[in-house]
Amino acid sequence: MNTAELTKTARMLMAPGKGLLAMDESNPTCNRRFAALNIPQTPEMRRIYRELIVTTPGLGDSISGAILFDETIRQKISNGAPFADALHQAGIIPGIKVDLGTGELAGFPGEKITQGLDGLTERVREYSRMGARFAKWRAVLAIADGIPTPGGMDANAHALARYAAVCQDAGLVPIVEPEVLMDGNHSLEHCREVTEQVLRTVFHQLHAQRVRLEGLILKPNMVLAGANCSEQPDVDQVADATVTCLLRAVPAAVPGVAFLSGGQPAEPASARLNAMNVRWAPRMPWALTFSFSRAIQQPALEIWSGRAAKGNAARQALLHRARCNSAARQGRYSLDMERSVC
C-alpha cells in the first residue's frame, strides 16, 4: 500500500472550494428517476445524460471528483473517450461505486446489509486499470423502533472496513458511506445519537481492519429530524447538531468529510453545509464538503427530461448547483446566489 499516494489523492478530492459529484446511481435507481420524468430507461439514454454531465464546461472548477456506476465507466462519450478519460480531461478525478446494493440482514428484521465483498479485489483492480482513483461503498441504516441494533451496526461497519482495506491495498481512496436515512418521524436529537453511534462503530472497525485514516474520505448523512417529524430544526440547528456529532466521533486524521444529500432539496442542503462552515470552520480538523447526487443533479435532470434541445439549459442548472455548493463549502453561500440563476 502506498500511503503517500492515497493521502495525496484524498487531499486532491478535498481541494479548497471543491466537492464530489455522485453520478453513480444504479440502473434501477436511475431508471426510477428517469421514469418519473418519462425519459426512456435505456443504456443509451443513461449514457447521453451522463455525457451531458461530464462535458459541462467549467464543472471542474467546483467538482474535484465524480463517482461513476459500473455501466458508465465501461461506456464512452461521443468523441470516443471513455468516461474516466473524459473526467480526467475535465480536471475531475474519476471514482467508482463498488458495492452491489443492499439486501436483508439475516436475523435482523428491518435491517439491511450492503453486498459486494466477494470478488471485490478483482473488481477494484479492474476499475483501477480503467482510471478510477477512488471508490464508494454505501451502508444504509434506518431509524425505527429498536433499529438500528448493535448487531446491524457492527455488520455494516465491518463490511465498510473490509471494503476500505481492499481499496487502499489496490491504491484507491475509499469513500466510507454509512447513511442513516431521514425516513421516519424521529427527532433531530435521536438522529444525532444514532449517527454518533454508527460513526463510532465504523471507526472502531476501520481501526480493527488496519485502514489508514489519512487515506479515506467519510461520507455521512447530515444530522436531520426525520422527514415526518412535526418539529423541524432550522439551518443553524442542523449545522450545530451535525458538527457536534462529527467532532465527537470522527478522528482528526481523516482528511475530509463529504456529505450525501439523502433526499434533502437542493437549496437547504447548500444552506446547511454553508452554516456548518460559517459557524464551525476554525474548530474542525477536517475539510467539510459535499458529495451530493440528487441535491446537485435533480434540477438539471428535470430541465433535460431526455430532450436534446434542453441540454444547455440543463448544463447551466448543473453548474449553478455545483457553484452554490462550492460556495457553501467555503462558507460563502447565500440565497442571493439562488436568485442570480442563469
> Active-site residue numbers?
177, 219
Site for ligand 13P contains 9 (CB under 6 A): no
Interface with ligand 13P includes 292 (CB under 6 A)? yes
x/- map, 158-197, ligand 13P, by CB under 6 A: -------------------x--------------------
Q: Are the beta carbons of 235 and 272 closer than 8 angstroms?
A: yes
* Strand duo 112-114 + 102-104: pairing: antiparallel
* Interface of this chain with ligand 13P, residues 40 to 79, rule: CB under 6 A: none
User: 259 pairs with which residues across the strands?
Assistant: 290
Stretch that binds ligand 13P, among 5-13, 108-116, 183-191, 254-262 (CB under 6 A): 254-262
Residue indicated by cell numbers 449517527: 195
- Among residues 79, 22, 78, which one has the least CA distance to residue 47? 78
Closest CA to 255 of 2, 8, 88: 8
Stretch that binds ligand 13P, among 49-57, 181-189, 257-265, 308-316 (CB under 6 A): 257-265
Let me know if 340 is exposed, middle or buried by CB neighbors in 10 A (0-12, 13-18, 19+).
exposed
Q: Which stretch binds ligand 13P (CB under 6 A): 42-50, 103-111, 127-135, 291-299?
A: 291-299
Closest to ligand 13P by CB, 64 or 293: 293
Integer CA distances (angstroms), 114 to 87, 223, 256, 273, in order: 28, 22, 23, 27
Tell me, what amino acid is at 298? Q
Closest separation in Å from C-beta 96 to ligand 13P: 12
Q: How far is the CB of 80 from ligand 13P (least distance, A)?
A: 28
Task: Return residues touching ligand 13P (CB under 6 A).
Answer: 22, 138, 177, 260-262, 292-295
